[in-house]
């Protein structure tokens, strides 16, 4: 007997509905954008950007940006922002350099392991300062973190005495040692993403972060300790910035405020861009770590591809600024449609 057409209709309708759901999924769209960018730059560079060595290089370059973006995402999810991460990373890097260097006139040499622990504590402590001003004194996050950015940049020059401090060979393990051909820094990025996903999706603190970003007043009325939640996201952001400092000084094997003057600014801009491109709303309460990871990779492929394609720095700024502007516009349009 021929099949009953009426039996096919529901199946076809369900398939269309399922396909529509997939294509409207934000992370799916980001994955498509990432694939298109990789393909375009692959053609422009005659396949050079798609080689295994370059892919690992992109992952290594993205590790620092990605770890910072995890902390930045948590801050933005509470409707805040942290523009101090670049300056904070610079200061932590110079603190680490002063602790580890064998150059005369500094605190070091202190063992690498102990120095790394002190760097992490310094990052968390600096983040806590921002958190106190934002959560307890109720000051605007942008103003507080902008002030912290200036303070930490100046402090980095004081700590380093405006010199480039050379580090012991043992520090190279973070960026130059690998497991199965994959740099340890990439595993640090993966660990940060996994931990960030777990915290936001499977803990009470993660639920509080989303609730505070959605409506701080409603979150407070429901019994959430809103001030405590806001405080801790800045501590986490500072801690992540310290990890990024560890990765960067391991890559270049020196700590210098001159280098960080440029690197720190790019780190701040790229972390915010990656988070926004990844679908985290600047108004708080919406977004995912998976989206942030895709945003980090999009920025990484964009930076790497533009460099390999030989685009000058001003063209790169133009394109990256355009991408950020489009991402913010899409976010605003999506909120109006809710």
- What SS3 class is residue 150? helix
Ranges 69-73, 217-221, 247-251, most confident = 69-73
Calculate what percentage of the chain has a pLDDT beyond 70: 88
For residue 81, pLDDT beyond 80? yes
How does DSSP assign 68-86, residue by residue? HHHHHHHHHHTT---TTHH
* DSSP conformation class of 3: P
pLDDT of res. 1: 47
For 33-79, what is each residue's pLDDT tens digit?
Answer: 888 888 988 888 888 888 888 899 899 889 999 999 999 999 999 99
Query: In this predicted model, which residue has the larger pLDDT, 185 or 176?
Result: 185
Is residue 254 within a helix (H) or strand (E), and if so which, with residue range? strand 254-255
Query: Hunting for tokens 């392991």 — which residue is that?
Result: 113
Distance CA 11, CA 319 (A): 44
- What SS3 class is residue 201? helix
Dihedral Cα 197, 199, 204, 207, nearest 10 deg: -40
Q: Taking all residues of the chain, what is their mean pLDDT, rounded to a whole number?
A: 86
Report the pLDDT averaged over residues 158-177.
Answer: 84
pLDDT of res. 21: 54
């Amino acid at each position: 007997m021929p099949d009953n057409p009426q039996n096919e209709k529901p199946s076809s309708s369900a398939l269309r509905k399922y396909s529509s759901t997939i294509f409207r999924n934000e992370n799916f769209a980001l994955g498509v954008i990432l694939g298109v960018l990789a393909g375009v730059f692959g053609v422009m560079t005659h396949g050079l950007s798609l080689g295994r060595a370059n892919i690992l290089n992109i992952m290594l370059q993205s590790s620092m940006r990605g770890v910072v973006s995890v902390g930045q995402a948590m801050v933005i999810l509470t409707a805040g922002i942290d523009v101090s991460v670049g300056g904070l990373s610079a200061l932590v890097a110079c603190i680490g350099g002063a602790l580890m260097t064998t150059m005369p006139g500094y605190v070091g040499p202190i063992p690498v392991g102990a120095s790394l622990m002190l760097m992490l504590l310094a990052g968390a402590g600096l983040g806590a300062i921002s958190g106190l001003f934002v959560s307890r004194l109720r000051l605007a996050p942008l103003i507080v973190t902008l002030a912290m950015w200036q303070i930490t940049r100046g402090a980095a020059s004081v700590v380093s005495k405006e010199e480039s401090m050379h580090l012991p060979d043992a520090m190279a393990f973070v960026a130059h040692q690998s497991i199965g051909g994959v740099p340890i820094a990439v595993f640090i990025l993966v660990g940060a993403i996994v931990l960030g996903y777990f915290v936001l999706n499977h803990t009470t603190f993660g639920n509080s972060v989303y609730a505070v970003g959605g409506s701080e007043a409603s979150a407070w009325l429901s019994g959430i300790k809103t001030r405590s939640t806001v405080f801790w996201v800045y501590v986490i952001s500072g801690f992540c910035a310290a990890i990024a400092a560890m990765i960067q000084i391991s890559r270049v094997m020196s700590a210098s405020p001159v280098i960080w003057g440029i690197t720190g600014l790019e780190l701040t801009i790229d972390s915010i861009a990656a988070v926004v491109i990844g679908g985290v709303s600047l108004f708080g309460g919406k977004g995912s770590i998976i989206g942030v990871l895709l945003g980090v990779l999009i920025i990484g492929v964009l930076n790497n591809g533009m460099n390999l394609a030989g685009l000058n720095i001003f063209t790169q700024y133009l394109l990256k600024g355009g991408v950020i502007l489009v991402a913010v516009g899409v976010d605003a349009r999506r909120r109006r449609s809710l």
